[in-house]
């Protein structure tokens, strides 16, 4: 486990900024319980600074994971968020979409969010911005990228796509064999 390089940090923060904006500061600059990002193999973990210091005594081949896996780097160097980061993304989200109960199951089975399933959404969502998808009971269900801005989405047909799915909590069941390996 090692700290992220300058380039890796830039890539991770750019991806996170797409979803939580300037709220990244709340993830890293917590005075009471400071947290850091660490890289183990190709996965990025968000871990308490105190625990990260203790983990340096464990050999890299013997360490499976530590903290919360925020995502992983692909072979091409891009960063892909994992569903395990949803708790933190939802807490500091800039843009939100709430879906009706009839749209929850299609979303959790891996489909995009359609206009007919949207209950409400943030007012100022631009096109291709990171959004967090919630149920109408404010339970975070996943995250994605807006297909249209809020204004354009209001004029869509009911079968038009509003949010392209990037991750949903159904992945815990669908991808349980490969999620943590």
Q: DSSP string covering 87-134, please? A: HHHHHT-SSEEEE-HHHHHHHHTTPPEEGGGEEEE-TTPPTT-EEEEE
71: helix, coil or strand? strand
Listed residues 59, 88, 117: the one ending a domain: 88
Per DSSP bridges, beta strands 140-146 and 161-168 are: antiparallel
* Count of domains observed in the chain: 2
Is residue 181 assigned to a domain? no
- Can you give the CATH number for the domain in which 20 is found? 3.10.450.220
Phi, psi of 69, deg, nearest 5: -75, 115
**Do 30 and 101 fall into the same domain?**
no
**Do 162 and 104 fall into the same domain?**
yes
Listed residues 88, 118, 147: the one ending a domain: 88
Model pLDDT, residue 87: 93
**Do 137 and 150 fall into the same domain?**
yes
Listed residues 88, 117, 133: the one ending a domain: 88
pTM of the model: 0.88
**Do 37 and 111 fall into the same domain?**
no
Structure tokens at 128: 């291709």
Among residues 92, 93, 46, the alpha carbon closest in space to that of 71 is found at 46
Parent domain of 124: 93-174
CA-only gyration radius of the chain, Å: 17
Model pLDDT, residue 72: 93
**Do 118 and 156 fall into the same domain?**
yes
The separation between CA 63 and the C-alpha centre of its own chain, rounded to angstroms, equals 24
Among residues 87, 75, 94, the alpha carbon closest in space to that of 145 is found at 94
Mean pLDDT by 10 residues, the chain (181 residues): 91 94 87 88 91 86 86 93 93 94 93 94 92 95 94 91 93 77 64
Residue 48's H or E segment, with its range, is: strand 43-48
């Amino acid at each position: 486990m090692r700290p992220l390089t300058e380039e890796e940090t830039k890539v991770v923060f750019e991806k996170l900024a797409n979803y939580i904006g300037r709220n990244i500061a709340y993830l890293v600059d917590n005075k009471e319980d400071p947290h850091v990002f660490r890289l183990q193999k190709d996965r990025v973990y968000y871990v308490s600074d105190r625990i990260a210091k203790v983990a340096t005594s464990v050999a890299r081949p013997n360490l499976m994971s530590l903290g919360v896996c925020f995502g992983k780097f692909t072979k091409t160097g891009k960063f892909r968020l994992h569903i395990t980061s949803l708790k933190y993304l939802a807490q500091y989200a800039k843009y939100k979409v709430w879906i009706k109960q009839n749209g929850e199951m299609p979303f959790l089975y891996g489909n995009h969010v359609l206009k007919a399933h949207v209950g409400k959404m943030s007012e100022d969502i631009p096109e291709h911005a990171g959004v967090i998808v919630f149920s109408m009971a404010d339970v975070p269900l996943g995250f994605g990228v807006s297909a249209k801005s809020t204004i354009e989405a209001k004029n869509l047909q009911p079968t038009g796509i509003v949010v392209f799915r990037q991750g949903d909590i159904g992945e815990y069941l669908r991808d349980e064999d490969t999620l943590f390996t």
